[in-house]
């Protein structure tokens, strides 16, 4: 009788352990789409399925809320409302908006204006040019150029944002995704997640003590990888010309604008992948490096401790890949890409 009781107790314990193991799968991953088409991914370690369910919906809710703040294509977003009214009277902005304005200011300075979220009027000009399939005139470009100057024209006092010039329009397309990824990681940490990854449309941040491998897209083919980059905690963000561009009069124009000239960036860079301590900083930097081009870009990234960059440059008969010394041993090239790698 006593033996039977022990056996039943053991059976119950085994069953409980099995149920526990079933729900406590170490790595959990899922995703959703933001803004309709931007794939977002959430990975956690050491969470059970119920906890992960909560983590995922918290991140999704956060991302959707931030869309309502920063989406330049949505007329009712906070950004659009601010763009319409901050010249006439101070606009009461949310904490998230004020934080991103503050963070952007630093990157405008560090990149000497290659990253500048006040490119809004130039973006609008080139968008309508693409729609009409006709290049903008020089005077149109010059007119819009006069409105670029984030650090001169955007004033913040407490939560009040005002524009010092009529027509100033902000566009956080080059940094918002990164900032949202950083915010989502902060949220996961506040829920007790100690390790994982958040990715939104190519902007990623990994945290905890695992190592992650990021696929770096082959700029010539969506289905292939140029290689994988292994990192511990930190951000990996890519900015590229190969996917988002518009066509005017049969010619391709980049979605990245040189804020000094008002023209879409035109250099030999196909893509730049940046690693760093936050996704927002890597995002701003990746866009700036695309604007600066290879040589000035290498100089700037060298000056920023804790950041690294992989530049893919188009050369006469193929590509060259320029990799920071600190990233060289962590980049595992695919296919024939190994022979094109240079370090700096
Ligand atoms: P990314 O894909 O991060 O390089 O960001 C590109 C987006 O940022 C564009 O689609 C524009 O909305 C905006 N943008 C373009 N050029 C610049 C620039 N030089 N500085 C800041 N934002 C820019
Ligand atoms: Mg960017």
Give CA separation, 30 vs 52, 54, 230, 339, in Å.
9, 12, 21, 35
pLDDT level of residue 6 (50, 70, 90 thresholds): confident
What gap in Å lies between CA 148 and CA 318, rounded to an integer? 35
136 Cα to the center of ligand 2, angstroms: 25
Residues 165-222 have pLDDT tens digits of: 999 999 999 999 999 999 999 999 999 999 999 999 989 999 999 999 998 888 788 7
pTM of the model: 0.92
Q: Between vectors from CA 282 to CA 278 and to CA 283, what angle results, nearest 5°?
A: 115
283 Cα to the center of ligand 2, angstroms: 4
Nearest CA to 173 out of 152, 128, 203, 147 is that of: 203
Is residue 82 within 8 A of residue 258, CB to CB? The reply is no
pLDDT level of residue 19 (50, 70, 90 thresholds): low
In the structure, ligand 2 is a single-atom ion and the residues with CB under 5 Å from it are 174, 239, 283, 286-287
pLDDT level of residue 18 (50, 70, 90 thresholds): low
What gap in Å lies between CA 312 and CA 317, rounded to an integer? 13
pLDDT number for residue 9: 78
Furthest CA-CA distance within the chain: 97
8 Cα to the center of ligand 2, angstroms: 60
Residues 273-284 have pLDDT tens digits of: 999 999 999 999
Residues 151-165 have pLDDT tens digits of: 999 999 999 999 999
Residues near ligand 1 (Cβ within 6 A):
115-117, 119, 123, 171, 173-174, 239, 255-257, 259, 283, 286-287, 291
pLDDT exceeds 60 at position 23: no
pLDDT exceeds 70 at position 16: no
Is residue 70 within 8 A of residue 172, CB to CB? The reply is yes
Neighbours of 52 (CB within 10 A): 21
Neighbours of 139 (CB within 10 A): 8
* Of 37 and 237, the one with more pLDDT: 237
């Amino acid at each position: 009788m006593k033996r039977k009781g022990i056996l039943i107790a053991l059976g119950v314990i085994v069953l409980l352990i099995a149920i526990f193991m079933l729900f406590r799968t170490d790595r959990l991953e899922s995703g959703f789409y933001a803004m309709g088409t931007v794939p977002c991914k959430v990975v956690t370690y050491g969470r059970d399925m119920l906890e992960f369910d909560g983590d995922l919906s918290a991140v999704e809710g956060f991302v959707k809320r931030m869309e309502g703040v920063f989406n330049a294509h949505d007329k009712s977003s906070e950004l659009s409302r601010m763009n319409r009214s901050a010249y006439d009277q101070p606009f009461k902005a949310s904490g998230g908006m004020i934080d991103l304005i503050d963070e952007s200011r630093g990157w405008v300075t560090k990149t000497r204006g290659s990253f500048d979220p006040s490119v809004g009027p130039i973006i609008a000009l080139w968008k309508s040019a693409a729609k009409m399939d006709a290049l903008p005139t020089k005077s149109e470009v010059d007119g819009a150029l006069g409105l670029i100057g984030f650090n001169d024209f955007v004033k913040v006092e407490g939560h009040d944002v005002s524009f010092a010039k009529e027509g100033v329009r902000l566009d956080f397309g080059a940094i918002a995704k990164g900032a949202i990824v950083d915010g989502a990681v902060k949220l996961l940490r506040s829920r007790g997640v100690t390790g994982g990854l958040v990715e939104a449309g190519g902007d990623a941040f990994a945290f905890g003590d695992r190592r992650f491998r990021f696929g770096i897209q082959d700029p010539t083919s969506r289905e292939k990888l140029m290689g994988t980059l292994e990192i511990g905690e930190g951000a990996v963000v890519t900015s590229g010309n190969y996917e988002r561009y518009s066509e005017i009069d049969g010619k391709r124009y980049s979605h990245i604008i040189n804020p000094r000239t008002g023209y879409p960036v035109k250099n030999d860079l196909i893509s730049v992948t940046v690693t760093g301590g936050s996704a927002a900083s890597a995002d701003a930097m990746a866009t700036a490096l695309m604007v600066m081009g290879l040589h000035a870009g290498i100089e700037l990234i060298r000056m920023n401790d804790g950041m690294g960059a992989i530049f893919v440059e188009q050369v006469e008969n193929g590509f060259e890949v320029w990799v920071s010394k600190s990233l060289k041993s962590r980049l595992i090239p695919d296919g024939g890409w190994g022979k094109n790698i240079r370090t700096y």
